[in-house]
Structure 1
Amino acid sequence: MAETIPRREIILQEAAHLFREKSYPGANLRELARRAGIQGGSIYHHFASKQEILFQLMDHTMTDMIERLTERLADTRTPSEKLRKTINFHIEYHVTGPDQTYITDEELRNLTPENYLKVVEKRDRYQKIIEQILIDGKSEEGWQLDEPKLYTRALIKMCAGVSTWFKPQGSLSVPQIGEAYIRLLCNGLLPR
Protein backbone atom coordinates (compact mmCIF):
# COMPACT_ATOMS: atom_id res chain seq x y z
CA MET A 1 0.00 0.00 0.00
CA ALA A 2 1.36 3.44 -0.94
CA GLU A 3 2.32 5.77 1.88
CA THR A 4 0.22 8.92 2.07
CA ILE A 5 2.22 12.13 2.29
CA PRO A 6 0.79 14.57 4.85
CA ARG A 7 -0.75 17.67 3.26
CA ARG A 8 1.68 19.93 5.14
CA GLU A 9 4.63 18.10 3.50
CA ILE A 10 3.04 18.40 0.07
CA ILE A 11 2.64 22.15 0.59
CA LEU A 12 6.31 22.46 1.63
CA GLN A 13 7.50 20.42 -1.37
CA GLU A 14 5.44 22.48 -3.77
CA ALA A 15 6.54 25.72 -2.09
CA ALA A 16 10.22 24.78 -2.52
CA HIS A 17 9.64 24.10 -6.20
CA LEU A 18 7.58 27.28 -6.70
CA PHE A 19 10.03 29.51 -4.78
CA ARG A 20 12.92 28.12 -6.80
CA GLU A 21 11.05 28.61 -10.05
CA LYS A 22 9.64 32.09 -9.40
CA SER A 23 11.60 33.30 -6.34
CA TYR A 24 10.03 33.86 -2.96
CA PRO A 25 8.78 37.40 -3.76
CA GLY A 26 7.46 36.28 -7.15
CA ALA A 27 5.44 33.36 -5.79
CA ASN A 28 1.90 33.71 -4.47
CA LEU A 29 -0.11 31.50 -2.13
CA ARG A 30 -2.98 31.07 -4.58
CA GLU A 31 -0.68 29.32 -7.06
CA LEU A 32 0.93 27.33 -4.26
CA ALA A 33 -2.49 26.09 -3.12
CA ARG A 34 -3.37 25.08 -6.69
CA ARG A 35 -0.11 23.14 -7.06
CA ALA A 36 -0.66 21.47 -3.69
CA GLY A 37 -4.19 20.44 -4.74
CA ILE A 38 -6.07 22.47 -2.14
CA GLN A 39 -8.28 25.55 -1.98
CA GLY A 40 -6.48 28.89 -1.59
CA GLY A 41 -7.53 29.56 1.99
CA SER A 42 -6.69 26.01 3.07
CA ILE A 43 -3.00 26.86 3.29
CA TYR A 44 -3.82 28.85 6.42
CA HIS A 45 -4.94 25.63 8.12
CA HIS A 46 -1.30 24.52 7.92
CA PHE A 47 0.76 27.74 7.94
CA ALA A 48 0.13 31.26 9.24
CA SER A 49 1.87 32.99 6.32
CA LYS A 50 4.11 32.68 3.29
CA GLN A 51 6.98 33.74 5.57
CA GLU A 52 6.30 30.78 7.85
CA ILE A 53 6.45 28.44 4.86
CA LEU A 54 9.81 29.87 3.79
CA PHE A 55 11.18 29.63 7.32
CA GLN A 56 9.92 26.06 7.80
CA LEU A 57 11.58 24.99 4.53
CA MET A 58 14.92 26.48 5.50
CA ASP A 59 14.82 25.44 9.13
CA HIS A 60 13.94 21.85 8.24
CA THR A 61 16.65 21.68 5.58
CA MET A 62 19.39 22.94 7.89
CA THR A 63 18.27 20.71 10.78
CA ASP A 64 18.17 17.70 8.47
CA MET A 65 21.63 18.46 7.06
CA ILE A 66 23.17 18.79 10.53
CA GLU A 67 21.55 15.58 11.79
CA ARG A 68 22.40 13.50 8.72
CA LEU A 69 26.00 14.68 8.46
CA THR A 70 26.56 14.13 12.19
CA GLU A 71 25.11 10.63 11.86
CA ARG A 72 27.26 9.86 8.81
CA LEU A 73 30.43 10.95 10.62
CA ALA A 74 29.62 9.19 13.92
CA ASP A 75 31.96 6.19 13.53
CA THR A 76 34.61 7.95 11.45
CA ARG A 77 37.99 8.53 13.03
CA THR A 78 40.42 10.25 10.66
CA PRO A 79 40.03 13.73 9.18
CA SER A 80 40.64 12.31 5.69
CA GLU A 81 37.77 9.87 5.98
CA LYS A 82 35.54 12.53 7.55
CA LEU A 83 36.32 14.85 4.66
CA ARG A 84 35.49 12.13 2.12
CA LYS A 85 32.16 11.38 3.79
CA THR A 86 31.33 15.09 4.13
CA ILE A 87 31.99 15.87 0.47
CA ASN A 88 29.92 12.90 -0.67
CA PHE A 89 27.11 13.76 1.73
CA HIS A 90 26.96 17.40 0.71
CA ILE A 91 26.84 16.60 -3.00
CA GLU A 92 24.25 13.83 -2.54
CA TYR A 93 22.05 16.04 -0.37
CA HIS A 94 22.04 18.88 -2.89
CA VAL A 95 21.46 16.62 -5.88
CA THR A 96 18.54 14.77 -4.25
CA GLY A 97 16.84 17.90 -2.85
CA PRO A 98 17.77 20.72 -5.20
CA ASP A 99 14.65 22.82 -4.58
CA GLN A 100 15.03 22.80 -0.79
CA THR A 101 18.77 23.41 -0.82
CA TYR A 102 18.49 26.14 -3.44
CA ILE A 103 15.90 27.97 -1.35
CA THR A 104 18.03 27.60 1.77
CA ASP A 105 21.10 28.94 -0.06
CA GLU A 106 19.45 31.75 -2.06
CA GLU A 107 16.43 33.11 -0.18
CA LEU A 108 17.94 34.08 3.18
CA ARG A 109 17.47 37.77 2.36
CA ASN A 110 13.69 37.25 2.32
CA LEU A 111 13.45 36.01 5.90
CA THR A 112 12.34 38.30 8.69
CA PRO A 113 15.26 39.33 10.93
CA GLU A 114 14.20 36.89 13.65
CA ASN A 115 13.87 33.94 11.24
CA TYR A 116 17.10 34.93 9.49
CA LEU A 117 19.05 34.66 12.75
CA LYS A 118 17.59 31.22 13.49
CA VAL A 119 18.49 29.82 10.06
CA VAL A 120 21.95 31.39 10.01
CA GLU A 121 22.67 29.93 13.46
CA LYS A 122 21.98 26.45 12.07
CA ARG A 123 23.96 27.16 8.90
CA ASP A 124 26.89 28.22 11.06
CA ARG A 125 26.62 24.99 13.10
CA TYR A 126 26.77 22.97 9.89
CA GLN A 127 29.78 24.94 8.67
CA LYS A 128 31.52 24.46 12.03
CA ILE A 129 31.33 20.68 11.60
CA ILE A 130 33.19 20.96 8.30
CA GLU A 131 35.59 23.62 9.55
CA GLN A 132 36.57 21.38 12.47
CA ILE A 133 37.36 18.53 10.07
CA LEU A 134 39.75 20.84 8.23
CA ILE A 135 41.34 22.07 11.45
CA ASP A 136 41.78 18.47 12.62
CA GLY A 137 43.30 17.57 9.25
CA LYS A 138 45.87 20.29 9.70
CA SER A 139 46.86 19.21 13.20
CA GLU A 140 46.58 15.43 12.75
CA GLU A 141 47.56 14.90 9.11
CA GLY A 142 49.65 17.96 8.24
CA TRP A 143 47.20 19.53 5.77
CA GLN A 144 48.39 22.84 4.36
CA LEU A 145 45.59 25.06 5.57
CA ASP A 146 45.81 28.69 6.59
CA GLU A 147 42.17 29.88 6.37
CA PRO A 148 39.77 27.18 7.66
CA LYS A 149 36.65 29.37 7.31
CA LEU A 150 37.49 30.27 3.71
CA TYR A 151 38.23 26.66 2.77
CA THR A 152 34.99 25.57 4.44
CA ARG A 153 32.91 28.06 2.48
CA ALA A 154 34.65 27.14 -0.78
CA LEU A 155 34.09 23.43 -0.15
CA ILE A 156 30.39 23.96 0.63
CA LYS A 157 29.78 26.08 -2.48
CA MET A 158 31.78 23.75 -4.73
CA CYS A 159 29.77 20.71 -3.62
CA ALA A 160 26.40 22.51 -3.60
CA GLY A 161 26.99 23.70 -7.16
CA VAL A 162 26.82 20.14 -8.49
CA SER A 163 23.02 20.29 -8.27
CA THR A 164 22.94 23.01 -10.94
CA TRP A 165 24.54 20.83 -13.63
CA PHE A 166 24.28 17.18 -12.52
CA LYS A 167 22.31 14.85 -14.79
CA PRO A 168 21.55 11.29 -13.57
CA GLN A 169 22.17 9.97 -17.08
CA GLY A 170 25.49 11.87 -17.34
CA SER A 171 28.93 10.33 -17.61
CA LEU A 172 29.69 10.59 -13.86
CA SER A 173 27.69 9.32 -10.90
CA VAL A 174 27.39 11.29 -7.66
CA PRO A 175 30.05 9.11 -5.94
CA GLN A 176 32.40 9.59 -8.90
CA ILE A 177 31.96 13.36 -8.72
CA GLY A 178 32.60 13.20 -4.98
CA GLU A 179 35.84 11.28 -5.52
CA ALA A 180 36.98 13.78 -8.18
CA TYR A 181 36.29 16.66 -5.79
CA ILE A 182 38.12 14.88 -2.98
CA ARG A 183 41.19 14.45 -5.22
CA LEU A 184 41.00 18.08 -6.28
CA LEU A 185 40.79 19.34 -2.72
CA CYS A 186 43.23 16.91 -1.15
CA ASN A 187 45.94 17.50 -3.71
CA GLY A 188 45.92 21.10 -2.57
CA LEU A 189 46.11 20.09 1.09
CA LEU A 190 48.96 17.60 0.88
CA PRO A 191 52.15 18.49 2.72
CA ARG A 192 54.83 19.81 0.39
Structure 2
Amino acid sequence: MEAVTSKAERTRQLIIEQSAQLFNQKGYAGTSMQDIMAATGLTKGGIYGHFESKEEIMQEAFDHAAGIIVQLIADKIARQEKASEKLATILSFYRTYLQSPPIAGGCPVLNTAVEADDTHPLLRAKVIQVLNRLHKSVANIVKLGINTGEFRADANAERFAILFVSMVEGGIMVSKAYGDARYLHTVLQQLEHMIADNLMK
Protein backbone atom coordinates (compact mmCIF):
# COMPACT_ATOMS: atom_id res chain seq x y z
CA MET A 1 0.00 0.00 0.00
CA GLU A 2 2.88 2.37 0.83
CA ALA A 3 4.44 1.78 -2.61
CA VAL A 4 1.15 2.70 -4.33
CA THR A 5 0.90 5.88 -2.30
CA SER A 6 4.52 6.74 -3.01
CA LYS A 7 4.02 6.25 -6.76
CA ALA A 8 0.90 8.42 -6.68
CA GLU A 9 2.81 11.15 -4.84
CA ARG A 10 5.68 10.97 -7.34
CA THR A 11 3.25 11.25 -10.25
CA ARG A 12 1.49 14.20 -8.67
CA GLN A 13 4.84 15.92 -8.08
CA LEU A 14 5.86 15.27 -11.69
CA ILE A 15 2.70 16.98 -12.92
CA ILE A 16 3.34 19.97 -10.65
CA GLU A 17 7.00 20.35 -11.65
CA GLN A 18 6.41 20.01 -15.40
CA SER A 19 3.36 22.27 -15.31
CA ALA A 20 5.27 24.92 -13.34
CA GLN A 21 7.82 25.21 -16.15
CA LEU A 22 5.14 25.23 -18.85
CA PHE A 23 3.03 27.87 -17.11
CA ASN A 24 6.08 30.03 -16.43
CA GLN A 25 7.16 29.91 -20.08
CA LYS A 26 3.84 29.92 -21.93
CA GLY A 27 1.49 31.46 -19.40
CA TYR A 28 -1.59 29.85 -17.87
CA ALA A 29 -3.90 30.74 -20.73
CA GLY A 30 -1.28 29.64 -23.27
CA THR A 31 -0.72 26.22 -21.69
CA SER A 32 -3.19 23.53 -22.70
CA MET A 33 -3.91 20.16 -21.13
CA GLN A 34 -2.31 18.69 -24.27
CA ASP A 35 0.92 20.53 -23.33
CA ILE A 36 0.81 19.07 -19.83
CA MET A 37 0.08 15.61 -21.21
CA ALA A 38 3.04 15.86 -23.60
CA ALA A 39 5.40 17.11 -20.87
CA THR A 40 4.41 14.45 -18.34
CA GLY A 41 3.72 11.52 -20.68
CA LEU A 42 0.38 11.06 -18.95
CA THR A 43 -3.13 10.81 -20.36
CA LYS A 44 -5.76 13.39 -19.51
CA GLY A 45 -7.40 10.81 -17.26
CA GLY A 46 -4.06 10.17 -15.59
CA ILE A 47 -3.67 13.86 -14.83
CA TYR A 48 -7.24 14.33 -13.64
CA GLY A 49 -6.78 11.33 -11.37
CA HIS A 50 -4.55 13.62 -9.30
CA PHE A 51 -6.14 17.05 -9.86
CA GLU A 52 -9.73 18.13 -10.21
CA SER A 53 -9.02 20.90 -12.71
CA LYS A 54 -6.39 22.86 -14.60
CA GLU A 55 -7.02 25.64 -12.06
CA GLU A 56 -5.89 23.36 -9.23
CA ILE A 57 -2.74 22.37 -11.16
CA MET A 58 -2.11 26.06 -11.82
CA GLN A 59 -2.25 27.00 -8.16
CA GLU A 60 -0.01 24.16 -7.00
CA ALA A 61 2.43 24.79 -9.84
CA PHE A 62 2.74 28.42 -8.77
CA ASP A 63 3.30 27.39 -5.13
CA HIS A 64 6.06 25.07 -6.32
CA ALA A 65 7.77 27.61 -8.60
CA ALA A 66 7.55 30.54 -6.17
CA GLY A 67 8.60 28.26 -3.32
CA ILE A 68 11.86 27.45 -5.11
CA ILE A 69 12.71 31.16 -5.45
CA VAL A 70 11.76 32.01 -1.86
CA GLN A 71 13.72 29.05 -0.46
CA LEU A 72 16.83 29.83 -2.51
CA ILE A 73 16.83 33.40 -1.24
CA ALA A 74 16.14 32.30 2.35
CA ASP A 75 19.04 29.84 2.26
CA LYS A 76 21.45 32.48 0.99
CA ILE A 77 20.30 35.04 3.58
CA ALA A 78 20.68 32.51 6.40
CA ARG A 79 24.38 32.02 5.58
CA GLN A 80 25.16 35.68 6.26
CA GLU A 81 25.32 37.37 9.67
CA LYS A 82 25.45 41.10 8.97
CA ALA A 83 22.39 42.84 7.57
CA SER A 84 24.37 44.50 4.77
CA GLU A 85 25.72 41.09 3.73
CA LYS A 86 22.20 39.65 3.69
CA LEU A 87 21.01 42.40 1.33
CA ALA A 88 24.15 42.03 -0.79
CA THR A 89 23.57 38.30 -1.19
CA ILE A 90 20.02 38.92 -2.46
CA LEU A 91 21.41 41.34 -5.06
CA SER A 92 24.04 38.76 -5.99
CA PHE A 93 21.31 36.14 -6.44
CA TYR A 94 19.51 38.33 -8.97
CA ARG A 95 22.69 39.17 -10.93
CA THR A 96 22.68 35.74 -12.54
CA TYR A 97 18.89 35.38 -12.50
CA LEU A 98 18.31 36.08 -16.19
CA GLN A 99 21.21 33.97 -17.43
CA SER A 100 20.35 30.93 -15.31
CA PRO A 101 16.84 31.27 -13.85
CA PRO A 102 15.88 28.69 -11.21
CA ILE A 103 12.64 28.17 -13.14
CA ALA A 104 12.68 28.28 -16.95
CA GLY A 105 10.83 31.33 -18.26
CA GLY A 106 11.90 33.91 -15.70
CA CYS A 107 10.37 35.07 -12.44
CA PRO A 108 7.17 33.13 -11.62
CA VAL A 109 6.02 35.87 -9.24
CA LEU A 110 6.29 38.57 -11.90
CA ASN A 111 4.88 36.41 -14.71
CA THR A 112 1.94 35.28 -12.63
CA ALA A 113 1.23 38.75 -11.21
CA VAL A 114 0.82 40.16 -14.71
CA GLU A 115 -1.36 37.33 -16.01
CA ALA A 116 -3.48 36.79 -12.90
CA ASP A 117 -4.22 40.46 -12.27
CA ASP A 118 -7.83 40.44 -13.51
CA THR A 119 -8.41 36.84 -14.50
CA HIS A 120 -7.48 34.57 -11.58
CA PRO A 121 -8.30 36.11 -8.17
CA LEU A 122 -7.12 33.04 -6.22
CA LEU A 123 -3.81 33.02 -8.06
CA ARG A 124 -3.46 36.77 -7.58
CA ALA A 125 -3.94 36.22 -3.84
CA LYS A 126 -1.09 33.68 -3.89
CA VAL A 127 1.16 36.20 -5.67
CA ILE A 128 0.38 38.77 -2.98
CA GLN A 129 1.29 36.25 -0.26
CA VAL A 130 4.72 35.70 -1.85
CA LEU A 131 5.29 39.44 -2.35
CA ASN A 132 4.34 40.02 1.27
CA ARG A 133 6.95 37.44 2.32
CA LEU A 134 9.62 39.11 0.21
CA HIS A 135 8.74 42.56 1.57
CA LYS A 136 8.74 41.27 5.14
CA SER A 137 12.08 39.51 4.66
CA VAL A 138 13.81 42.65 3.35
CA ALA A 139 12.18 44.84 6.02
CA ASN A 140 13.32 42.43 8.75
CA ILE A 141 16.89 42.57 7.43
CA VAL A 142 16.84 46.36 7.60
CA LYS A 143 15.44 46.22 11.13
CA LEU A 144 18.21 43.80 12.07
CA GLY A 145 20.76 46.28 10.75
CA ILE A 146 19.19 49.08 12.78
CA ASN A 147 19.10 46.98 15.95
CA THR A 148 22.74 45.93 15.62
CA GLY A 149 23.88 49.47 14.90
CA GLU A 150 25.00 48.67 11.35
CA PHE A 151 22.26 50.78 9.74
CA ARG A 152 21.09 54.27 10.60
CA ALA A 153 18.49 54.47 13.34
CA ASP A 154 16.19 56.60 11.17
CA ALA A 155 16.17 54.11 8.26
CA ASN A 156 12.62 53.30 7.12
CA ALA A 157 12.53 49.49 6.83
CA GLU A 158 9.08 49.23 5.24
CA ARG A 159 9.73 51.93 2.67
CA PHE A 160 13.09 50.44 1.70
CA ALA A 161 11.52 46.97 1.36
CA ILE A 162 8.86 48.31 -1.02
CA LEU A 163 11.48 50.03 -3.16
CA PHE A 164 13.81 47.00 -3.08
CA VAL A 165 11.22 44.43 -4.21
CA SER A 166 9.50 46.74 -6.71
CA MET A 167 12.77 47.77 -8.34
CA VAL A 168 14.06 44.20 -8.65
CA GLU A 169 10.81 42.88 -10.12
CA GLY A 170 10.58 45.89 -12.44
CA GLY A 171 14.19 45.41 -13.54
CA ILE A 172 13.48 41.78 -14.38
CA MET A 173 10.41 42.74 -16.41
CA VAL A 174 12.18 45.43 -18.47
CA SER A 175 15.24 43.23 -19.06
CA LYS A 176 13.00 40.36 -20.20
CA ALA A 177 11.14 42.71 -22.56
CA TYR A 178 14.36 43.99 -24.14
CA GLY A 179 16.23 40.72 -23.91
CA ASP A 180 19.03 42.66 -22.26
CA ALA A 181 20.26 42.05 -18.69
CA ARG A 182 21.73 45.55 -18.31
CA TYR A 183 18.39 47.01 -17.20
CA LEU A 184 18.21 44.66 -14.22
CA HIS A 185 21.92 45.16 -13.51
CA THR A 186 21.40 48.94 -13.49
CA VAL A 187 18.65 48.49 -10.91
CA LEU A 188 20.86 46.25 -8.78
CA GLN A 189 23.67 48.82 -8.90
CA GLN A 190 21.23 51.55 -7.84
CA LEU A 191 20.08 49.43 -4.92
CA GLU A 192 23.70 49.02 -3.86
CA HIS A 193 24.02 52.81 -3.81
CA MET A 194 20.78 53.11 -1.82
CA ILE A 195 22.08 50.66 0.78
CA ALA A 196 25.31 52.62 1.09
CA ASP A 197 23.70 56.09 1.05
CA ASN A 198 20.39 55.55 2.86
CA LEU A 199 21.04 52.69 5.27
CA MET A 200 24.69 52.49 6.23
CA LYS A 201 25.96 54.74 9.00
With the length of structure 2 as denominator, give the TM-score of the two structures: 0.66
| Partner deviation per Cα, 1:16-44 (whole Å, 9 max, x = no partner) | 34334543123321332123222222211
Q: Show the counterpart of 2:66.
A: 62
Letter matched to residue 50 of structure 1: K
**Residue 112 of structure 2 contacts residue 124 of structure 2 at CA under 8 Å; is this kept in 1?**
no
2:139 to 102, 115, 131: 131
Q: Where do residues 31-180 of structure 1 align in structure 2 (5 Å cutoff)?
A: 31-92=35-96, 95-99=101-105, 101-102=107-108, 103-109=111-117, 110-113=119-122, 115-137=123-145, 140-142=150-152, 147-158=159-170, 160-161=172-173, 164=176, 165=179
Q: Following the alignment from structure 1 to structure 2, what is the Cα–Cα distance between the partners of residues 142 and 125?
A: 23
Letter matched to residue 41 of structure 1: G
With the length of structure 1 as denominator, give the TM-score of the two structures: 0.68
**Residue 16 of structure 1 contacts residue 57 of structure 1 at CA under 8 Å; is this kept in 2?**
yes
Runs (5+) with no aligned partner, structure 1: 1-5
1:19 aligned to 2:23?
Answer: yes
Percent sequence identity is 22
Q: Across the two proteins, how many residue pairs are aligned to each other?
A: 179
**Residue 87 of structure 2 contacts residue 141 of structure 2 at CA under 8 Å; is this kept in 1?**
yes
Q: Following the alignment from structure 1 to structure 2, what is the Cα–Cα distance between the partners of residues 91 and 50?
A: 34
User: Secondary structure of the equivalent of 1:38?
Assistant: coil
The one of the two structures with greater contact order (alpha-carbon pairs below 8 A, sep at least 6) is 1
Q: Following the alignment from structure 1 to structure 2, what is the Cα–Cα distance between the partners of residues 183 and 144?
A: 23
**Residue 16 of structure 1 contacts residue 100 of structure 1 at CA under 8 Å; is this kept in 2?**
no
**Residue 98 of structure 1 contacts residue 163 of structure 1 at CA under 8 Å; is this kept in 2?**
no
Runs (5+) with no aligned partner, structure 2: 1-9
| Partner deviation per Cα, 1:134-177 (whole Å, 9 max, x = no partner) | 4555663339965324312334315644873468xxxx9xxxx8
Q: Show the counterpart of 2:7.
A: none
- Runs of 4+ with >6 A deviation: none
**Residue 79 of structure 1 contacts residue 137 of structure 1 at CA under 8 Å; is this kept in 2?**
yes
User: Secondary structure of the equivalent of 2:107?
Assistant: helix
Q: Deviation at 1:124? A: 0.7
Q: Deviation at 1:105? A: 4.1
Letter matched to residue 188 of structure 1: M
